[in-house]
Structure 1
């Protein structure tokens, strides 16, 4: 009886150790290296071609349905719900993997940090000369690849006969480009950005799966509110990166960070504009 109890106690700890190993200590993760010659989808030509094909395909599909005057949504069955579930699980995997890998990197490299450097400062501001290798960048690479799966939502929206907006194409293209730049320039702040984004995707895609299988939806703009909260947190973190850059001798990949900041601000303005329009539209309808 005691042996059985000991085995039951040890089994969860063994599973936890295996999970930590596969998430942060596996040789493929520890030895990861972002390279144009050895890493798939790592070249500028691939990025530009992918974005161009995405925009062209979306426009062609939209124009085709418009020319054939198909007003009814194309039945997609359970495909959108399955996609949402897959994205929620993948985002949860990246979140946990990156969290454990960040803890392992802090543990292994803290001995040569400069004085007064804290884990939070490392998360926001990589030291100058940081190369895109190791645990953190493995999960950043997986996040970059997952962005291609996010593009499918545009085609789902077109087939459902929803408006193909400039913001949708702009948002998806820029997010794909930014995740590429994180790896290409070893950009500071990407760890926090990926953790926040994947946590958001867990919640949002879990919610989309929930309503995709026919369960009740929220009585407010759930997805938009989640996006505003995360973008607001990112804005605060961007200010922290800027302060650390000038006070700590520089952060790695600051040029890519400037690009990231500008387009994050643009996306936040787009979402706030949409939120305000929806809010006032609902208020006007109530007054009528």
Structure 2
């Protein structure tokens, strides 16, 4: 049994190395790589969710059984795999180049390929699955809020631009966001199992810190950019504006949810929006 397990792990490792190591992003070939798919998905998501909410208005919440538990567990474990995979490949990149510059600045004309950027692609694909968050919310009778819908509608475009524009800083963004998602979806999994963890407030705080940290990372990016340019500067500008909007929205949510007034302390953490 032990030898069979070792052989299976070796085979799995070889398959991963072959798939991830040979990954090349090509919008005309890579699944979901065409921009019209991204735009139609984002627009369609907003329209369909608003229509679904109207159709469910006044109706009792649906009993979804184990679906919320399974969904949250998939996103928790999936985020953990993406975090560990990107962290490992980032370490290997640093080990081979003896430089951390790739974290902050990719050279002009950079081709998105290799195992590290395979995880950027997996992250992009995961944003489509995360749209199920909203479906579950609506079916369970939970009202939609602007922050939730805004985030899900635009985060797909953000992740797409990482690949399409070979955006610098994407590895740092991937690592911080997947780490937050591990914490967030583990919390939601425990809640769906009937537990009430005491660290709900930390989720919102972590989300705000994540977005603020992204602006700190612009300092080394700017230094490298002045030296010889970096790839994906326009996409990074979009990402920065998006993060700025999220800081404002999350800050407002935090203020309303965790103020000292007992009348506003019962709000739940925004669902699936890290």
Q: What TM-score, normalized to structure 2?
A: 0.87
Distance 1:200 1:235 in 2: 17
Give 1:183's match in structure 2, choosing from 143, 163, 170: 163
SS in 1 for 2:36: helix
Pair 1:239–1:205, CA change in 2 (3 A): same
Per-residue deviation, 1:279: 2.5
Indicate the residue corresponding to 2:52 in structure 1.
61
Counting only pairs closer than 5 Å after superposition, residues 65-76 of structure 1 correspond to structure 2 as: 65-66=56-57, 69-70=58-59, 72-76=60-64
Distance 2:48 2:255 in 1: 31
Indicate the residue corresponding to 2:79 in structure 1.
91
Pair 1:78–1:133, CA change in 2 (3 A): same
Q: Is the 8 A contact 2:110 2:231 kept in 1?
A: yes
1:65-103 residue CA offsets vs partner (Å, 9 max, x unmatched): 12xx22x32212221111010111111111111122222
2:69 is equivalent to residue 81 of structure 1 = yes
SS in 2 for 1:251: coil
Indicate the residue corresponding to 1:33 in structure 2.
24
2:159 is equivalent to residue 168 of structure 1 = no
2:251 is equivalent to residue 260 of structure 1 = no
1:121-176 residue CA offsets vs partner (Å, 9 max, x unmatched): 22111122211111122111111000111111111111222221222111111111
Distance 1:234 1:21 in 2: 34
Per-residue deviation, 1:183: 0.2
Distance 1:127 1:219 in 2: 40
Distance 1:48 1:175 in 2: 11
Indicate the residue corresponding to 1:153 in structure 2.
133
Counting only pairs closer than 5 Å after superposition, residues 207-218 of structure 1 correspond to structure 2 as: 207-218=187-198
2:250 is equivalent to residue 271 of structure 1 = yes
| Structure with max Cα Rg | 1
Q: Which moved more, 1:81-90 or 1:11-20?
A: 11-20
Structure 1: runs of 5 or more not aligned: 1-7, 111-117
Q: What TM-score, normalized to structure 1?
A: 0.83
Indicate the residue corresponding to 1:221 in structure 2.
201
Indicate the residue corresponding to 2:41 in structure 1.
50
Pair 1:105–1:218, CA change in 2 (3 A): same
Distance 2:111 2:159 in 1: 16
Runs of 4 or more above 6 Å deviation: 10-20
2:261 is equivalent to residue 283 of structure 1 = yes
Alignment RMSD (CA, Å): 2.5
Structure 2: runs of 5 or more not aligned: 265-274
Aligned length: 263
